[in-house]
Structure 1
Amino acid sequence: MAPTEHQLSDTLLDRLPDGWEASAPDSGDAPEIAALLRRHEHRGRGWAGSGEDDVLIEVSARGYITRENVILRDAEGELRGWASAHDRAAGRMLLVVVVDPRLDEADRETSDRVAGVLFGWADEAARRVGQERGLDVQQIDSGAFADDQRQHGWLEQAGFTKVRTWWQMSRPVTPEEASLDEGDDYGPREGVTIRLVERQGTGMPSEEDLRIVHDVLESAFEDHFNSHEETFDEFVSRLREDPGHRWDHWWIAEVDGEDGTAEPAGALVAAVIDGEDGRPVGSYVEYIGVLANARGRGVAKSLLATVIGDAARRGRDRVGLEVDADSPTGADGLYTSMGWATRYVTQSWHKDVPVA
């Protein structure tokens, strides 16, 4: 979709307050959108963590390959609302809806109206995405901070149902952890080898290793909540878009097979996260997965020890990750035992939109 097209139907345009305008943003709007997003985060979580680079993923020319966006400006031209729809995988569309919290101070009725327009746009985007995918039903997956009652109310009004709770966890890292050994409490486990994905002469990673990571993660998560199969190209392209992406943050875990050769057993993909208030940057675990036949052998603990040690060697002060609070696997027990603690809580809200 071209960035100049907002694809807001006439019905939704008629619901906007007098003098308001809708448009599709481009990279030039990123500073204003980032400021809007930070106000939203301050209200819903108590502090802001997003920056302009995060918004550019959504509204850059490259982002529009898999995303649609719309922004709403009031009669004075001030940015008041933003929605982004990301065709993440077949059957799953991620949705971000942000309404300026300052509207509530002047006119809650207007903020409710703006939210209704943005969620209505999301339904229309879901039908377009579903048609392109050849689906009968398109799922919309949207998130909210656990304490953001305003967002919860809008999601319910738009027909969404809360389906999951997520703990956003963080662990401090000390310089002494730069050389974790097998004998350490948090060190790698005996019989498990962790290696970075191989790099070619050009500096690009080996496609064979990237496919190993993709295959391991797809297999490890196939029975997890709301798992939707993602093609190799979708997976790699999406992660490369992340401003925190680094090829030297992709690891493969191997164990000895029955014939004595090393076999892939797990994988971890991490990213760089910006510091807050001048603090050093941290690392963030985007994915960690272990194959079913390798569980119980310390593979996950070895991968986590690797990312902790890597962060310490780079002078970072923490490692973050997300864990499913409703998962029956008990993964949170491992994270807690290794020093992670919940920093804040988020929720997933879903809606199924008929495509026809």
Structure 2
Amino acid sequence: MPPPVTSERSTLPEGWSTRVPGDGDIGALTALLAANRRHGSSPVDVATLTALVVGPASWTRRQLVVLDASATLVGWVVVHDRANGRTEVTVLVAPDAPAQGAIAAGLFAWADREAAEVAALRRAPRTQLDSAADADDDRQRTWLAAAGYDCVRTWLKMDRPVDPAEAEPGALPEPRPGVRVRRVREHGNGLPTAEDLQTVHLVLEQSFADHFNSYREGFAEFVVRLQEDPWHRWDHWWIAEVELEGEWRPGGALISSVSPPDAAGAYGSYVDYIGVHRRARGRGVAKALLSTVVADAARRGRTRVSLEVDADSSTNADGLYLSLGWVVDHRTESWHRYVDAGTQG
């Protein structure tokens, strides 16, 4: 049984209601996500959806579903307390629902209030709201602008096909002299060592310090957040080391995960993070890490490696990916808004 209907403070059409989603809503939410997906995209990832609604990922999220007068689920809003001063907002409305603009406006207003309360609980003076839209989704972009968000960045979603032959030694370029790549070390029970996990976190933090919208995320929040993903795997973490004055030091890191089956039922790998420390830039570290994840995907029988890159980055990372066989699948946008902390009635 879904949770009982609760009152909601935002303005919605007469006779409509909202409540917190539960197990019984997974099917309807799957249909809602499918209706909002781009034509030709992969099927809805039900495992991730379930984790968000009733699994560990739900613990850092506040969410509501919208029911029309006939109790049909027509909307969903998620406010993700990602880190101190960083809140992610997702608003979805059924494309065939009446009064779509009113639903979206009410859900974005609710998200403002919840994010303000989260910021107050964290004792942060304000928080950044981050919401995404496909670059060609004029409906979502219109709602975001009406809710006070500004488009601040464009991202390229890229895919690279994987050839099974790339699993063979020598099929991909070897790292340059003075560069080597290894997996994070594991204990006998299969769990990674604290030292290597902390190294990956530190390298990524330092690598992204001069990137767009960079912020500090504590180690504990970092590892817990990544484990919320049902497709996370510890054996998909790598460290690149560079030789400096006769000593091997961390120079880069890559975290990947499993991409759920596409329309043909084939799994892939997804690059969640790749970072190169400033002291190691210009030594082919990124190429070495990417070759590692491609070879790993080939050995696992996967058909693709996907990633996301900042289209406006001063490092021209998209050029590197294009040169290594990645192609642009589609573009998305980040839209931001800021709200002050506080409990609003």
TM-score, scaled relative to structure 2: 0.94
Q: Does 1:54 align with 2:40?
A: no
Amino acid at match of 2:312: D
Is the contact made by 1:95 and 1:140 (CA closer than 8 Å) also made in structure 2? yes
Is 1:244 the counterpart of 2:250? The answer is: no
Q: Any residues of structure 2 matched to 1:9-48 within 5 Å, and which?
A: 9=9, 12=10, 15-42=11-38, 46-48=40-42
Q: Map residues 184-223 of structure 1 onto 2, 5 A cutoff.
A: 186-223=173-210
Counterpart residue number, 2:262: 276
Q: Name 1:133's counterpart in structure 2.
A: 122
- Whichever residue aligns with residue 60 of structure 2, its letter is T
Alpha carbons 1:267, 1:290 under 8 Å: kept: yes
> What's 2:149 paired with?
160
Q: Cα distance 1:94–1:49, how it changes in 2: closer, same or farther (>3 A)? A: farther
C-alpha contact 1:90 1:133 (8 A) present in aligned 2: yes
C-alpha distance in structure 2 between counterparts of 1:348 and 1:194, whole Å: 32
In structure 1, distance between residues paired with 2:319 and 2:169: 21
1:150 to 122, 136, 139: 139
| Counterpart code for 1:151 | Q
Specify the SS of the correspondent of 1:284.
Answer: strand
Residue 102 of structure 1 aligns to a residue in which SS?
A: coil
| Aligned partners of 1:186 and 1:338 also within 8 Å | no
Cα deviation for residue 54 of structure 1 reads: 1.7
The aligned residue for residue 92 of structure 2 is 98
User: Is residue 345 of structure 1 aligned with residue 341 of structure 2?
Assistant: no
Q: CA deviation at 1:180?
A: 4.8
Answer yes or no: is 1:77 the counterpart of 2:71: yes
Paired amino acid for 2:284: G
Give CA-to-partner distance per residue, 1:3-28, whole Å, 9 cap, x none.
8796832xx1xx22222110011233
Fraction of identical pairs, as percent = 48
Show CA shifts across 1:316-335 (max 9, x none): 11100000001001111111
| Contact 1:58–1:84 under 8 Å retained in 2 | no
For 2:173 and 2:28, the matched residues in 1 are separated by 43
C-alpha spacing 1:48/1:120, structure 2 compared with 1 (3 Å): farther
> Which residue does 1:292 correspond to in 2?
278
Aligned to 2:297: 311
Measured in 1, the distance between the counterparts of 2:271 and 2:123 equals 33
Q: Is the 8 A contact 1:266 1:290 kept in 2?
A: yes
> Is 2:216 the counterpart of 1:229?
yes
What corresponds to 2:288 in structure 1? 302
Contact 1:39 1:48 (8 Å CA) reproduced: no
> Where does residue 330 of structure 1 map in the other structure?
316
- Cα distance, 1:35 vs. partner? 1.6
On the 8 A contact 2:20/2:63 being kept in 1, the answer is: yes
Match of 1:177 in 2: 166
Q: Runs of 5+ in structure 2 lacking a partner? A: none
Contact 1:270 1:283 in 2 (8 A): yes
1:8 aligns to what?
A: 8
Query: What root-mean-square deviation, in Å, do the aligned CA atoms of Structure 1 and Structure 2 show?
Result: 1.7
Shift of 1:279: 3.7
Q: Could you tell me how far 1:77 is from its partner in structure 2?
A: 1.3
Residues in 2 aligned to 1:120 and 1:101: alpha-carbon distance in whole angstroms:
20
TM-score after normalising by structure 1 = 0.91
How many residues in Structure 1 have an aligned counterpart in Structure 2? Answer: 340
Find the residue that maps to 2:312 and give its secondary structure: coil
d(CA) in 1 for partners of 2:5 and 2:254?
38
Q: Which amino acid aligns with 1:22?
A: T
